[in-house]
Amino acid sequence: MNMKSSAEPDLDPVNMLKWYVECGVDETISETPINWFEQTNNSPIKQQVKTASSPQEQPASRPAKTTPLASQKELIDSAEKIAAECSSLEQLNEAILAYDGCSLKKTASNTVFSDGNAQSDIMLIGEAPGAEEDKIGKPFISQSGQLLDRMFGAINMSRETDFYITNLLPWRPPGNRKPTDAECELCLPFLKRHIELFNPKMIILIGGTSASTVLNVETGITKLRGKWNDYTLADKQVPMMAIFHPAYLIKQPHYKKQTWHDLLTIKEKLEDLSK
Ligand code: URA
Ligand code: URA
């Protein structure tokens, strides 16, 4: 008979390890300390030791050569440059796969680019992949993705035929934490190019993070949802609306009523656009 009560902690080492990885742990602490400075070629400690033990090899006054870390502005400039050079969605996907400027990529298993119909007119933009999306490499396939499909199914739209879907961030933040402003800003140049290359007739922002980042405001989703804004592309203004995130609707089902209203507004707009 299994005497273990559900209140007891799960001490199975494999489960504990999985839990640590889920929380974003990526280093173990060993019995002996590690001197990380000694492990880099540019370490000032190493330079000192080297100079002391072999004075003939190096003039003592030679300054240590270090590569300064790129500033956030430099990282954003470089992301913009890389994104601008892409002239198709495939190229953008390849460029993001090759990009190493965002530290989220180091803990993610996959780069999640998009799903849905790339020939459709409507672009949905979520926040970031979750655990399942990270594993499979596709956006919105977990429980909240299934709710999203049902929500759009209710206005007769499916991702197979009627819309295309991506996220602000192509990499899962460890443990599903909320992405930082710096991470959002860094991924925004890729998203902006994604929008230009997809060239939508309508944009739907899913949840507070994608809404406030793309609209460049600090206003919360409760105030942003359900209202039309324009996204400016080179040759046109694209109608854009934010809706509640389905993950939020799972926790707060009473907001589904407002979302149903938003979905009907979207449907109405689409009918207007196709006239
Ligand atoms: N939540 C998101 O915002 N995007 C996904 O792809 C999955 C969950
Ligand atoms: N918080 C978010 O980020 N999005 C929502 O839709 C609701 C709460």
Confidence (pTM): 0.78
Domain boundaries, the chain: 72-273
Q: Give the model's pLDDT for residue 36.
A: 61
- Mean pLDDT, rounded, for 45-69: 52
pLDDT (tens digit per residue) in 213-222:
999 999 999 9
- Mean pLDDT, rounded, for 174-193: 97
SS3 of the chain: CCCCCCCCCCCCHHHHHHHHHHCCCCCCCCCCCCCHHHHCCCCHHHHHHHHHHCCCCCCCCCCCCCCCCCCHHHHHHHHHHHHHCCCCHHHHHHHHHHCCCCCHHHHCCCCCCCEECCCCCEEEEECCCCHHHHHHCCCCCCHHHHHHHHHHHCCCCCCCCCEEEEECCCCCCHHHCCCCHHHHHHHHHHHHHHHHHHCCCEEEEECHHHHHHHHCCCCCHHHHECCEEEEEECCEEEEEEEECCHHHHHHCHHHHHHHHHHHHHHHHHHHHHCC
Residue 74 pLDDT exceeds 90: yes
Lowest mean pLDDT among 55-59, 134-138, 155-159: 55-59
Q: Give the model's pLDDT for residue 51.
A: 43
pLDDT classification of 61: cutoffs 50, 70, 90 = low
Q: Give the atom of ligand 1 at the shortest distance from the alpha carbon of 138.
A: 6
Is 149 a pocket residue for ligand 1 (Cβ < 6 Å)?
A: no
Is 163 a pocket residue for ligand 1 (Cβ < 6 Å)?
A: no
Tell which one of 167, 176, 178 to mutate to probe ligand 1, the residue whose CB is within 8 A of the most ligand atoms.
167
pLDDT (tens digit per residue) in 97-108:
999 999 999 999
Q: What percent of the chain has pLDDT over 70?
A: 81
Residue 25 pLDDT exceeds 60: yes
Distance 230 CA to ligand 1 centre (A): 23
pLDDT classification of 53: cutoffs 50, 70, 90 = very low
Mean pLDDT, the chain, whole residue set? 88
Distance 211 CA to ligand 2 centre (A): 9
Residue 184 pLDDT exceeds 70: yes
- Mean pLDDT, rounded, for 115-123: 98
**72-273 adopts what CATH topology?**
Uracil-DNA Glycosylase, subunit E (3.40.470)
Q: Give the model's pLDDT for residue 70.
A: 84
Tell which one of 148, 184, 218, 248 to mutate to probe ligand 2, the residue whose CB is within 8 A of the most ligand atoms.
248
Q: Give the model's pLDDT for residue 140.
A: 98
Is 170 a pocket residue for ligand 1 (Cβ < 6 Å)?
A: no
Is 255 a pocket residue for ligand 2 (Cβ < 6 Å)?
A: no
Distance 245 CA to ligand 1 centre (A): 9
pLDDT classification of 18: cutoffs 50, 70, 90 = confident
Residue whose CA lies nearest to ligand 2 atom number 5: 207
Tell which one of 180, 218, 221 to mutate to probe ligand 2, the residue whose CB is within 8 A of the most ligand atoms.
221
